[in-house]
Each structure stands twice: as structure tokens, then as C-alpha cells.
Amino acid sequence: IGMTRGFWRDRQRYVDTYWSRFEKVWLHGDFCAVDEDGLWYILGRSDDVIKVAGKRVGPAEVEAIVNSHPAVTESAAIGVPDPLKDNEVVVFAVLKSGVQPSENLRTELEELVTAELGRPLKPREVKFCAALPKTRNAKVMNRIIRAAYLGQALGDVSSLEDAGAVAAIQNAC
């Protein structure tokens, strides 16, 4: 249940995509963890990685740290090009009702990430926004956030739940 059994008219592509890396193992690309009670948690995509100064970090790792702050409702982390480090992390944070953005809060979030992940992964910027662009399935659309941050064309936005969230990101930039 829930596992694809093939690609339309392209069996070999399906085998190459999901079954070729390890014998008899379906590699789907989700990054998961199992706790001491045997409960599984989907943490993000294993192929969604930001490379910063030779270190690799998943956006979900950065987001979990930022989201642990009591002032933050949710966040998104993106990688943006940097001539020295290859990429740098930029964070967009949605604050809880009644919490006002401030330089002190921005610094707290930067320091929180740095303390957990190390100096090379300190965010270049922490931006505050009213909402994150999401699909109808509530998945944050990081590619749209990245395109808006870099001033690029947004591409296909047909799966966006709330177009106003894109404006929130653009206003934060």
C-alpha cells in the first residue's frame, strides 16, 4: 500500500530509480529515523541536501532546530549560492501570534543553529515572514522560496495552496 509498482510504459526506469542501488532494497529517497519505541519519523528527503563549505545538511535538520525556538511556528531553510562556501543557508521563519520580529530574535535563531550544527552552517540570513508557500498537501515549496529569494522566475505555481504566501516571502526579501 502506498508504494509505486512501476512507471507508465517504462519498467526499466522504475527499476533503475528505486531498485538499483542496493540488492532487494527499495530506495525511495525519504530520510527517516526510528525512535526507541519503534516509531518512524519522516525527516525529509535524503536527496534534498545543502552543501556548505564541504559539509552537508538537510533543510529539515535546520528547520527542526529553528522550530524548537518558542517564538517560531514553522520555518523553511534553503541553500543559496556562495562563491567561497559553495552554498549558504538562509532561513525563513513564521513567528507565533503576538511575537514581533526583532534583531535580537534573528540573532537568537542564528546562534541556535550555529550551536547545534557548527559555525560553517550559521545561516547567512534569517528572514521573518507571515506564511510559507505550500502545496495543497501542506508541503512547503522550498524551490519557490529559493527562486523568490534569488529574484528568479518562480516556475510552475499551479500546486500552490495560497498565492499570498509567495508575496509574504517576497516581502521578507
In the chain the domains, ranked by start, together with CATH numbers, are 1-47 (no CATH), 48-172 (3.30.300.30)
Q: Which three cell numbers stand for residue 86?
A: 559553495
Task: Tell me which amino acid residue 166 is.
Answer: V
Task: Give pLDDT, residue 3.
Answer: 65
Task: Give pLDDT, residue 115.
Answer: 97
Q: What is the mean pLDDT of each run of 10 residues along the chain (173 residues)?
A: 75 83 75 81 71 88 95 97 94 97 98 95 96 89 93 88 84 78
Task: Give pLDDT, residue 105.
Answer: 98
Task: Give pLDDT, residue 123.
Answer: 97
| Catalytic pick among 16, 30, 35, 47 | 47
Q: Residue 97 and residue 36: Cα distance in Å, rounded?
A: 34
Task: Give pLDDT, residue 65.
Answer: 95
User: 96 to each of 100, 113, 138, 154, how far by Cα in Å?
Assistant: 9, 19, 18, 27
Task: Give pLDDT, residue 163.
Answer: 82
Q: Residue 121 and residue 51: Cα distance in Å, rounded?
A: 9
Catalytic annotation on 10?
A: no
SS3 per-residue string spanning 60-82: HHHHHHHHCCCCEEEEEEEEEEE
Taking the CA of residue 110 as centre, how many other CA atoms within 13 Å lie in the half-sphere pointing to its CB?
Answer: 17
